[in-house]
């Protein structure tokens, strides 16, 4: 529906430069592997207004009984940004002509859209595809995530994914990481990128070996790095904090 796409674009205007990260809720992750991420930068003097509008939008979606939710994340490193993330089961869902549940609240929705437009400074949208065989999921959304934006040497994406399957995923599981996922870039970023996310309880997790390094011996970790070094051009890590008050997750309703 046009109004839904517009409001999503407005929300994105606040988003992260995401190494795309955001984690789906358990129900979202089960069958929805197409992830859309809206990167939003908010006007410096309008952050409060933007947050209030997002909260009102979430409340309106709940009131209308809309089934598709979204999660919001605030950047804890890099630019001061937010990310709005939602998942789709197929590409057709990205081009919906309308949701009948929205019609009774259309006037309220239009007013919220105007508020979001007024508070937003810029927009960027990424769409990628989660790899179902490279996912670790828990029943709850994590407090924080670390996202990775991995630029792969051209023609080497399958090689990197193979290493993720043979080395990265087992190490993440062994390290006790509760949520982890890998996605292939489809639209909005170069197609030789892989985007990852992994759960964090807080910055204190970094006071000890984390993730793959924790799940491997020193020797195995060095060998792992040696495998990736020739086929990975760069990696950018970003930390994000889950913003439950700015999110709408129907699956978690009491």
What pLDDT, in 10s, does the model give residues 52-69?
A: 999 999 999 999 998 889
Fold for the domain defined by 2-128+243-252: Alpha-Beta Plaits (3.30.70)
The string of pLDDT tens digits covering residues 111-139 is 999 999 999 999 899 999 999 999 999 98
Q: Do domains 2-128+243-252 and 132-240 have the same CATH topology?
A: yes
pLDDT at position 96: 58
Instruction: Name residue, tokens 């259309």.
Output: 106
Map out the domains of the chain as residue ranges: 2-128+243-252, 132-240
Tell me the sheet residues that pair with 85.
37, 71
- Taking alpha carbons only, the member of 9, 2, 6, 4 closest to residue 188 is 9
Over 80: is that where the pLDDT of 201 sits? yes
Q: What tokens were used for 174?
A: 């062994």
The pLDDT assigned to 102 comes to 86
Q: Cα separation of 59 and 73, whole Å? A: 17
Domain 132-240: assigned CATH number:
3.30.70.100
This prediction has a pTM of 0.84
CB 179 within 8 A of CB 198: yes
Helix (H, G, I), strand (E, B) or coil at 120: strand
User: Phi/psi of residue 21, each to 5°?
Assistant: -130, -35
Q: Does the structure show a pLDDT above 70 at 85?
A: yes
């Amino acid at each position: 529906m046009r109004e839904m796409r517009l409001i999503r674009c407005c929300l994105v205007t606040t988003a992260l430069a995401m190494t795309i990260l955001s984690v789906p809720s358990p129900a979202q992750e089960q069958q929805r592997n197409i992830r859309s991420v809206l990167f939003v930068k908010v006007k410096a003097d309008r952050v409060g207004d933007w947050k209030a509008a997002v909260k009102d939008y979430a409340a309106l979606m709940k009131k209308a009984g809309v089934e598709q939710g979204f999660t919001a994340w605030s950047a804890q490193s890099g630019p001061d940004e937010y990310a709005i993330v939602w998942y789709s089961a197929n590409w057709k869902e990205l081009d919906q002509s309308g949701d009948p549940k929205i019609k009774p609240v259309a006037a309220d929705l239009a007013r919220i859209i105007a508020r979001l437009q007024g508070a937003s400074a810029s927009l960027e949208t990424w769409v990628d595809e989660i790899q179902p065989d490279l996912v670790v999921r828990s029943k709850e959304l994590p407090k924080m995530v670390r996202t990775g934006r991995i630029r792969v040497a051209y023609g080497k994406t399958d090689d990197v994914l193979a290493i993720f399957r043979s080395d990265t995923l087992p190490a993440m599981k062994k390290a006790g990481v509760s949520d982890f996922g890998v996605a292939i870039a489809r639209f909005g970023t170069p197609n030789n990128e892989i985007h990852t996310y992994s759960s964090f309880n807080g910055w204190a997790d970094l006071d000890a070996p984390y993730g793959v390094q924790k799940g491997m011996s020193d020797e195995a970790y060095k060998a792992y790095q040696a495998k990736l070094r020739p086929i990975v051009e760069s990696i950018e890590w970003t930390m994000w904090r889950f913003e439950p008050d700015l999110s709408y997750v129907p699956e978690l309703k009491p």
